[in-house]
């Protein structure tokens, strides 16, 4: 496959995790008190891998070139709109929808990138932010005929759908892959456990694996090396006869296409879209995912996306009575105190936890979870005579 051993191992591990996610994410038996913390249901699993794709793509831009875009949600949104129009006009089959979402997002990011990349640093960030906010505002207001404005878009029974033919009255259009419906699931009961295998999830997971594979290839390619050179020293790059602009633009467009792919898949799984998907907080979220996992590393963004979406699910489900159960073994006064202290960070307080976590990572662990893992790993290795990097500095992880 053109990968070295370590990368193949990484890819295989991710593939295994994806394949067995319905088991791994459902550790608690059905009906037990902890069952609500199971994450192995289709909707969440789909989000885990789709946002993984989004973050992998963002990392190709930010992780390699260091250009911090604050507007990538716009490409995700554009991809979503393109996909839903495919479903309205052509067919409910997800393949054309996904392809068109990648293409449209690619074209849009070419335009935005071509303009934004005339500047770098903070100016670039603000330009991308401005573009994204503009797209959001337009989608919400003037472009209502195309975007559905506040209500958003869904496929309707009476849409033309040239390839599918007319639907019978009362039937709802469902996204499918050559007849295999995306919301189709197979449930397997083992003892008290129930595991759900969902068609849509596995489609998204396969796409994610392909996306991940491509990103490894890009990281290991001469192109990837040039992108890291852009981040490291643009002056030297220019005086080495290389034109930084097309390199960064290519990275920008590739990451925009990844975002579009994620947007298309979101629509394939859940056939609706609204403008809020393009809001700048959504752009901020993918930044968070990438940084939290470890920008510039291969696996980091996948970890970050998984971690954030998983924690969001778990943490926002914890409520006061669950907390009280957990701390019930404590003496009353301490129990109350603990509940009061922890309460702001759970349930609706998820964003607070996320914000704090994010600050902590940026302050203490700029390499994200991946660097954290490496540090822990090094702690265990330290007992042996050090064969480590002589400078003792942390180097960006691969």
Partner 1 sequence: MGILEVKNVGKRFGGLQALGDVNLSVKENSVHAIIGPNGAGKSTLLNCLVGKLIPDTGSVMFDGQSVLGRKPYEINQMGISRVFQTPEIFADLSVMENMMIPCFAKRDGAFQLNAISSIPSQKDMIERAEHMLEDMNMADKREMHAGSLSRGDKRRLEIGMCLSQEPRLLLLDEPTAGMARADTNNTIDLLKQISEERDITIAIIEHDMHVVFSLAERITVLAQGTPLVEDTPDNIKGNPKVREAYLGETQEAA
Partner 2 sequence: MDAIILQILNGLDKGSAYALIALGLTLIFGTLGVVNFAHGALFMIGAFCAVTLSRILTFSHTVIDETKKDFLGNPLKVEVPYIYDIFGQATGDVIIDWAVPISILFAIPVMVAIGFAMERGLIKHFYKRPHADQILVTFGLAIVLQEIIKYFYGANPIPTPAPAAFTGSFDFGAMLGFDPNTIIYPYWRLVYFAFAAVIIGAVFAFLQFTTFGMVVRAGMADRETVGLLGINIDKRFTIMFGIAAAVAGLAGVMYTPINSPNYHMGMDFLVLSFVVVVVGGMGSLSGAVLAGFLLGVLESFASMAVVLETLPGINQIIIYLVAIIILLTRPRGLMGRKGVMED
Residues that bind partner 1 (CB under 8 A): 2-4, 217-218, 220-226, 228-229, 231-233, 235-243, 246-247, 250, 254, 389-391, 393, 395-396
* Cβ–Cβ under 8 Å, residues 368 and 292: yes
Phi/psi class of residue 280: alpha, beta or left (left: φ > 0; alpha: ψ in -120 to 50)? alpha
Nearest Cα residue to 180 out of 199, 205, 201: 199
Q: Which is nearer to partner 2, 2 or 246 (CB)?
A: 246
Least CB distance to partner 2 at residue 192 (A): 37
Q: What tokens appear for 196 in the block?
A: 């759900």
Least CB distance to partner 2 at residue 114 (A): 11
Partner from partner 2, partner 1, none binding residue 229, C-beta < 5-8 Å depending on class: partner 1
Partner from partner 1, partner 2, none binding residue 351, C-beta < 5-8 Å depending on class: partner 2
**Residue 177 phi/psi, 5° resolution?**
-115, 100
Partner from partner 2, partner 1, none binding residue 217, C-beta < 5-8 Å depending on class: partner 1
If DSSP codes are grouped into helix, strand and coil, which group holds residue 189?
Answer: strand
Partner from partner 1, partner 2, none binding residue 119, C-beta < 5-8 Å depending on class: partner 2
Q: How far is 26 from 42, CA to CA, in rounded Å?
A: 11
Least CB distance to partner 1 at residue 95 (A): 23
Distance between alpha carbon 135 and the CA centroid of its chain, in Å?
20
Q: How far is 62 from 73, CA to CA, in rounded Å?
A: 14
Q: Is the dihedral of CA 139, 142, 145, 146 positive or negative?
A: negative
Rounded (10°) angle between helices 368-381 and 300-315? 100
What residues line the site for partner 2 (CB under 8 A)? 66, 68, 115, 118-123, 125-127, 129-131, 133-134, 137-138, 140-143, 280-281, 284, 287, 291, 344, 348-349, 351-352, 354-356, 358-359, 362-363, 366
Least CB distance to partner 2 at residue 139 (A): 10
Q: Which is nearer to partner 1, 4 or 281 (CB)?
A: 4
Helices vs strands, H then E, count in the chain: 17, 4
Partner from partner 2, partner 1, none binding residue 171, C-beta < 5-8 Å depending on class: none
Partner from partner 2, partner 1, none binding residue 226, C-beta < 5-8 Å depending on class: partner 1
Q: Which is nearer to partner 2, 66 or 294 (CB)?
A: 66
Q: Which is nearer to partner 2, 59 or 125 (CB)?
A: 125
* Cβ–Cβ under 8 Å, residues 173 and 156: yes
Partner from partner 1, partner 2, none binding residue 202, C-beta < 5-8 Å depending on class: none
Q: What tokens appear for 56 in the block?
A: 């992998």
Distances (CA, A) of 260 to 2, 117, 272: 26, 19, 15
Least CB distance to partner 1 at residue 360 (A): 24
Q: Which is nearer to partner 1, 28 or 223 (CB)?
A: 223
Q: How far is 112 from 105, CA to CA, in rounded Å?
A: 10
Least CB distance to partner 1 at residue 386 (A): 16
């Amino acid at each position: 496959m053109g990968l070295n051993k370590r990368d193949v191992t990484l890819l295989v591990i991710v593939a295994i995790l994806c394949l067995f996610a319905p088991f791994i994410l459902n550790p608690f038996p059905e009906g037990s008190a902890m069952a609500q913390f199971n994450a192995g249901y289709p909707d969440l699993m789909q989000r885990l891998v789709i946002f993984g794709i989004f973050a992998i793509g963002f990392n190709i831009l930010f992780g390699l070139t260091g250009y911090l875009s604050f507007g990538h949600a716009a490409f995700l949104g554009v991809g979503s709109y393109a996909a839903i129009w495919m479903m309205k006009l052509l067919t409910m089959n997800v393949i054309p929808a996904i392809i068109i979402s990648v293409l449209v997002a690619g074209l849009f990011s070419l335009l935005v990138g071509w303009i934004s990349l005339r500047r770098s640093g903070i100016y670039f960030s603000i330009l991308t932010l401005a573009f994204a906010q503009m797209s959001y505002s337009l989608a919400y207001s003037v472009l209502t005929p195309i975007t559905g404005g506040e209500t958003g878009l869904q496929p309707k029974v009476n849409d033309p759908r040239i390839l599918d033919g007319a639907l019978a009255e009362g039937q709802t259009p469902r996204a499918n892959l050559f007849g295999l419906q995306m919301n189709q699931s197979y449930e397997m009961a083992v003892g008290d456990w129930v595991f759900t295998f969902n068609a849509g999830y596995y489609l998204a997971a396969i796409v994610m694996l392909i996306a991940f594979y491509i990103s490894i290839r890009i990281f290991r390619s001469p192109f990837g090396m040039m992108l890291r050179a852009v981040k490291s020293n643009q002056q030297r790059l220019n005086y080495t006869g290389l034109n930084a602009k097309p390199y960064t633009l290519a990275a920008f467009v590739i990451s925009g296409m990844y975002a579009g792919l994620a947007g298309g898949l979101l629509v394939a799984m859940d056939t609706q879209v609204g403008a809020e998907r393009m809001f700048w907080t959504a752009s901020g979220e993918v930044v968070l995912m990438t940084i939290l996992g470890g920008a510039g590393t291969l696996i980091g963004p996948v970890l970050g996306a998984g971690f954030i979406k998983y924690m969001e699910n778990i943490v926002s489900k914890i409520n006061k009575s669950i907390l009280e159960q957990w701390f019930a073994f404590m003496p009353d006064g301490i129990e109350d105190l603990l509940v009061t202290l922890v309460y702001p960070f759970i349930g609706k307080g998820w964003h607070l936890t996320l914000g704090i976590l994010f600050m902590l990572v940026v302050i203490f662990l700029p390499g994200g979870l991946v660097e954290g893992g490496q540090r822990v790993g090094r702690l265990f290795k330290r007992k042996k005579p050090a064969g480590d990097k002589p400078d003792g500095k942390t180097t960006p992880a691969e």
